[in-house]
Structure 1
Amino acid sequence: MRERGRTRRLLGLGARTGGTLLRRRFGGEADWRALGEALFEGLSELKGPAMKLAQIMAQWDDLLPPDLTDELARLQRQAEPMPWEGIRRTLVEQYGELESRFSKIEPQPFASASMGQVHRAVTHEGETLVLKVQYPGLAEVLEGDLAQLRRIMRLGRWFKVPQVRLDALFEELAASLRSELDYHAEACALVRYRERYAHLEGLVIPEPLPELSGPRVLAMHYVAGTPLRELEGADDALRQRIATTLADWLTEELFTHGELHADPHAGNFAADGEGRLVIYDLGAVIPVPEGHLKAMMQLLDATLAADSMAMDGALRRLGGRQGQGAPLALYRESAEAVAPLFEPGEQDFSDVRVHRRLRDLTPKVWATMDRLQPPVGVLLLSRTLNGHYWNLVRLGARLDMHARTRPLLAWARR
């Protein structure tokens, strides 16, 4: 009964989303705020893959209507926690009698997300830990939720995205969601990242505790920090230090190790008391093939050169073009919007003029979906980079992107 009720609610949310998109497509008024509120309320309670997809959608600040993304972004900040009774049962399954392992576990979660929530705990030796606990029954409902998400994604056909492309995008998302249930893989990623980036003094990654971890509980040393989304009013020097570390780390991840932490929402990052960047969650780490990186850098190269035909060629190599007739005017406008961030010297990511120009492109992008399409294989890569762009905006970052990208562009031309 519970699974049927969940399916009905997901189908209802899908129907409401489809109705809004249809009204918008055929010239009617779309109430994006009302749709966002409905999605927030429904997905916050249901959690799981559907909520995760909505959080992913919220990262595309420059492609979705602001009223919709504002509501979806609440799922990263205000999602309703799972009642303690269900979480406690999972902990008892892992540890047995909790009092024998811990002197205290906080029933109120330290953080709540789509696939699990985090609780602080104190050992009998006085050490503070965090326990990342998977929501009860999530593995059982995952495939059912994914089936409903596949149906909802078929709405993309109304925007002339081919079914084969929608299926490929679904498989990329589904693989990412399934991997987030593998806490052993996340523990291994924590170990790997701690060793790999030990030389970055401004970076902190919590240490996992294998002896206290299991299939549905991941135990880590607690690292206190101020969430990135709460740093907007912080000291400028701190924000610039965090932004620089974030940019350095992402560059090394991609271009040295061919791997990417693919969950850029601001709740996964913080600043500790020493001004270091803390990364809390490594549940979504994806490989990034060199060919994908080169193709994306070639697209950036063509964009900065304002070469519309080269932009079209790069998009074709990425699999982001279909049909006849390249939208050359859109390419030119996109190049004009992006270019200021890569001019020589320090660029200010808080410059609202850049954001405004990017947002103004949104309806024009949707209008050319008969010729543009989401590139297969780089959905999570592009979503992550877009999400970190907005993280840098939140920090008010000032970075010399021209100097940072010159060697990478030269590499892509080889």
Structure 2
Amino acid sequence: MRERGRTRRLLGLGTRTGGALLRTRLGGQADWRALGEALFEGLSELKGPAMKLAQVMSQWDDLLPPELADELARLQRQATPMPWESIQGTLEAQYGDLEAVFAEVETAPFASASMGQVHRAVTRDGETVVLKVQYPGLAEVLEGDLAQLRRLMRLGRWFKVPQARLDALFEELAAGLRDELDYRAEAEHLAGYRARYAHLDSLVIPEPLTDLCGPHVLAMRHVAGTPLRELEDADDAVRQRVATTLADWLTEELFTFGELHADPHAGNFAADDEGRLVIYDFGAVIPVPRERLSAMMRLLEATLAADPMAMDAAMLELGGRQGEGAPLALYREAAEAVGPLFAPGVQDFGDVRVHRRLRELSPRVWAAMDRLQPPADTLLLSRTLNGHYWNLVRLGARLDMDARVRPLFAQVSR
């Protein structure tokens, strides 16, 4: 990874993205498909923080132009893998002679991500394991990449996001990416989450193999599964079981442990042959302080009551909406769009009418961002929840959200 060449390429991609946004602001037309193809090709090769951000953005189905979102989504499943020779060097630095440890290591990865790629292997004892291998040299270029990423995020000002909020959001993303560099810490997290959720029979978290883990290699027992993005045509009973488990787990994460899995792209989730939800990656988990969760629940409660004045009061409590003049009409539209998902009884997340209203609402929200001014940590939290929501949509979930949230209102107010 040559830092100077990476910087030039990232600057070029940023310039091209900025040009497309400028054309749309001036009333012109941007070729979002061509931009998406260029970003896919460039970021797929460069890897690192910019690719991570693009993967996150691809989950924002309600915000990006569809052609751009489609191309960025390919980064979740078709990213160009790093040559085996480079990965082999990292493995040999960890294990020495690979043949002394493994009977076989597949040279072709079955998954390529932003910070590393995943290879199957068989130990000398005959056990199939998964090796998540960090891209070589990533630590050396990370800070340079983050500097370019900060420049790219300044484009958010065109969506009327205040610079102070963008800076705070960047710092939170940067801290998460730095934490992801230490695979030994991720192994410890995995072990902790396995113990935490051992009572959920419908949830599977792979076991880390401590003796085979190192700072740049995470070794886990192999857990076969069908990726969530491939479950759209699966048996309905399987999809509903996975969706229910996903909703149960997210609720417990938030309201019992005050945390949230912050990397909800579909490649991190699967269903095993028993219809259990498998979560492969815990590299990005964000804390959700109880005060923040309580304030967000008060905003949701006001939204479901279709009370725009109470919604505005909740926004002020969150630390947003610092300007003059509450956007009451926008609050009413938001309540009308969100309300159907929380109506009494089982609601269908596959209902395209709900998606349409949410998609129509998003541009209005971003147009009012200079008045709403949500705190940076709320931006990240809301976009993460949005990613989990779209996973439920992909599963065609049918859930009684009213029954789920009503007890939580009382819980967070205590």
- Relative to the length of structure 1, the TM-score reads 0.97
Quote the residue 2:137 is aligned against: 137
Quote the residue 2:337 is aligned against: 337
CA apart distance, 1:379: 3.3
Quote the residue 2:168 is aligned against: 168
Q: Tell me, what secondary structure is at the counterpart of 1:344?
A: coil
CA apart distance, 1:363: 2.2
Alignment of 1:78-117 (within 5 A): 78-117=78-117
Quote the residue 1:123 is aligned against: 123
- The one-character-per-residue Cα deviations of 1:144-169 (angstroms, maximum 9, x if unpaired) are 00000111111222333222221111
- In the aligned structure 1, how far is the partner of 2:312 from the partner of 2:5? 46
Identity of aligned residues (%): 81
Quote the residue 1:253 is aligned against: 253
Q: Is the 8 A contact 1:342 1:401 kept in 2?
A: yes
**Residues 384, 159 of structure 1: alpha-carbon distance in 2 compared, 3 angstrom cutoff:** closer
**Residues 272, 159 of structure 1: alpha-carbon distance in 2 compared, 3 angstrom cutoff:** closer
Quote the residue 1:326 is aligned against: 326
- The one-character-per-residue Cα deviations of 1:261-312 (angstroms, maximum 9, x if unpaired) are 2111110001111111101011112221101111111111111011112112
- The one-character-per-residue Cα deviations of 1:4-44 (angstroms, maximum 9, x if unpaired) are 11001100111111111111122221222222111111111
Letter in 2 for 1:375: P
Alignment of 1:181-200 (within 5 A): 181-200=181-200
Q: Tell me, what secondary structure is at the counterpart of 2:129?
A: strand
Q: Does 1:356 align with 2:356?
A: yes
Q: Is the 8 A contact 1:319 1:376 kept in 2?
A: no
Letter in 1 for 2:157: R
- In the aligned structure 2, how far is the partner of 1:309 from the partner of 1:33? 41
- In the aligned structure 2, how far is the partner of 1:264 from the partner of 1:175? 18
- In the aligned structure 1, how far is the partner of 2:319 from the partner of 2:38? 34
Q: Is the 8 A contact 1:203 1:276 kept in 2?
A: yes
- In the aligned structure 2, how far is the partner of 1:216 from the partner of 1:149? 23
- Relative to the length of structure 2, the TM-score reads 0.97
Moved over 3 A (4+): none
CA apart distance, 1:374: 4.2
**Residues 366, 25 of structure 1: alpha-carbon distance in 2 compared, 3 angstrom cutoff:** farther
Q: Does 1:49 align with 2:81?
A: no
- In the aligned structure 2, how far is the partner of 1:278 from the partner of 1:413? 32
Letter in 2 for 1:151: R
CA RMSD after TM alignment: 1.3
Q: Is the 8 A contact 1:64 1:362 kept in 2?
A: no
Quote the residue 1:391 is aligned against: 391
Q: Does 1:293 align with 2:316?
A: no
Q: Is the 8 A contact 2:169 2:380 kept in 1?
A: no
Q: Is the 8 A contact 1:187 1:218 kept in 2?
A: yes
- In the aligned structure 1, how far is the partner of 2:366 from the partner of 2:259? 30
Q: Is the 8 A contact 2:318 2:374 kept in 1?
A: no
- In the aligned structure 2, how far is the partner of 1:184 from the partner of 1:158? 39
- In the aligned structure 2, how far is the partner of 1:38 from the partner of 1:265? 21
Quote the residue 1:267 is aligned against: 267
- In the aligned structure 2, how far is the partner of 1:365 from the partner of 1:379? 12
- The one-character-per-residue Cα deviations of 1:161-191 (angstroms, maximum 9, x if unpaired) are 2222211111011111111112122111111
Q: Is the 8 A contact 1:47 1:115 kept in 2?
A: yes
Q: Is the 8 A contact 2:81 2:112 kept in 1?
A: yes
Q: Is the 8 A contact 1:322 1:370 kept in 2?
A: no
Letter in 2 for 1:328: L
Q: Tell me, what secondary structure is at the counterpart of 1:278?
A: strand
Structure 2: which 5+ runs fail to align? none
- In the aligned structure 2, how far is the partner of 1:315 from the partner of 1:236? 38
Quote the residue 1:22 is aligned against: 22
- In the aligned structure 1, how far is the partner of 2:172 from the partner of 2:259? 16
Q: Tell me, what secondary structure is at the counterpart of 1:130?
A: strand
